[in-house]
Amino acid sequence: MILTPDEWESRRSEFNHDWLKNTYLRRLRAFLDRLVMVPDSPVVAEFLANEFSMWQGKEAEVRWLAGHLVECLSPRRYFAVNPLRYLNAETKAWLLDVTHQVWLEKNHVNDAVVSLTARINAVHVKYQEISDALRPGIEISVRGNLLSHFEAYEILCRELSSELSDIRKTIGTI
């Protein structure tokens, strides 16, 4: 499904601002504050059981955003609306491709997609490391340095959020 730039932007905003920044990262920060003060608290166990795993349900959305960024934001879309839709087929064929290539190169779009995907992968890897350390039967107090893992995870999530916030500034139009 190809979305308009506004629709893609809306999905990016819902993921990044509504969920990642204003829900997940706030809850993660509150969890870290509690973990420092009372590591064996029921609130800590509740976060681990209910909140931490929210990433699994949302990861597919951010991967979709990264994977569809080029097709949804490309200036190719302008050739379907006035006045460019009236170009003759021969001119439209070469101009559409040239416009797209100039956009990709001028804005380093492919580099931005690679960077965004790498951030998503880094969050995923750290999430998996923490999940493995939290497997059933291991007490919170003996799970190693859980705090440092979660702090690193929080940093990775914030870096992902920052990159998502800046992506539209980085990737402009022709």
pTM of the predicted model, to two decimals?
Answer: 0.88
CB 41 within 8 Å of CB 139 = no
- Count the domains in the chain: 1
pLDDT digits (tens, 9 = 90+) for 49-107: 889 999 999 999 999 999 999 999 999 988 988 999 999 999 998 999 999 999 999 99
Lowest mean pLDDT among 42-46, 130-134, 147-151: 42-46
The residue-averaged pLDDT of 137-159 equals 79
Taking the C-alpha atoms of residue 67 and residue 60, their distance in angstroms, rounded to an integer, is 10
Compute the half-sphere exposure of residue 139: CA atoms within 13 Å on the CB side of its CA.
5
Q: In which domain, by residue range, is 165 found?
A: 5-170
Extract the tokens encoding 113.
């997609």
Q: How confident is the model at residue 37 (pLDDT cuts 50, 70, 90)?
A: confident
